[in-house]
């Protein structure tokens, strides 16, 4: 009988793959459209309007905030810790971060479905190979049932992880980033 010691490691491998996923998109803030992936202040304001964001200033303080208004010279927001309106020069911003659970759920579900399907196929082939090497070519239905099971299980796990971790959008002010790196 052919033994497949790696077959017992598949659940651990799937868990590690799914737990390490996360989607973060970082965009520079620009004064005007630049043609690359930089966001103008108007685009960032539109994308973040009405959402809770985390603002990190150049001194390292991070503040949970709402009602963000970014302009080239100054940025205003309501600090959720104090409920006070705060302002700062825009170049004092290190980053503005926003987490979207809906987009994270979609990405997690899709990634989980892919990982689950691949691991299901691997498990089906491994189990089928242990039974009879010639049956591998004749019983695709056996493997496909494992693939569908992996798809469903992976989608569910990915949905849970993606929803809890979310997808992160991060806006950075490039002039400040350059001065921080030097």
d(CA 174, CA 40) in angstroms, rounded, equals 12
- The pLDDT tens digits of the residues spanning 42-65 come to 888 888 888 999 999 989 999 999
- Going from N- to C-terminal start, the domains of the chain cover 5-20+102-165, 24-99+167-181
Distance CA 18, CA 115 (A): 8
Distance CA 61, CA 59 (A): 6
Q: Which two tokens stand for residue 15?
A: 């868990």
pLDDT in tens, 101-160: 787 788 888 888 888 888 888 888 777 766 655 554 556 777 788 888 888 988 888 888
Structurally, what CATH architecture does the domain formed by 24-99+167-181 represent? Roll (2.30)
Residue scoring higher pLDDT (32 or 108): 108
């Amino acid at each position: 009988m052919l033994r497949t010691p790696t077959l017992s490691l598949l659940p651990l491998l799937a868990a590690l793959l799914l737990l390490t996923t996360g989607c973060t998109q970082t965009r520079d803030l620009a004064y005007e459209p630049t043609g690359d992936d930089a966001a103008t202040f108007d685009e960032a304001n539109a994308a973040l309007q009405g959402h809770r964001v985390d603002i990190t200033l150049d001194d390292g303080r991070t503040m949970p905030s709402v009602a963000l208004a970014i302009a080239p010279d100054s940025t205003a927001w309501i600090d959720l810790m104090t409920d006070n309106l705060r302002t700062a020069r825009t170049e004092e911003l290190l980053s503005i971060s926003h987490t979207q659970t809906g987009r994270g759920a979609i990405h997690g579900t899709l990634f989980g479905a892919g990982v689950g399907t691949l691991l299901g196929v691997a498990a089906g082939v491994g189990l089928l190979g242990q039974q009879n090497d010639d049956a591998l070519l004749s019983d695709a239905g056996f493997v496909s049932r494992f693939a569908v099971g992996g798809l469903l299980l992976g989608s569910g796990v990915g949905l849970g992880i993606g929803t809890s971790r979310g997808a992160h959008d991060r806006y950075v002010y490039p002039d400040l980033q350059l001065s921080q790196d030097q």
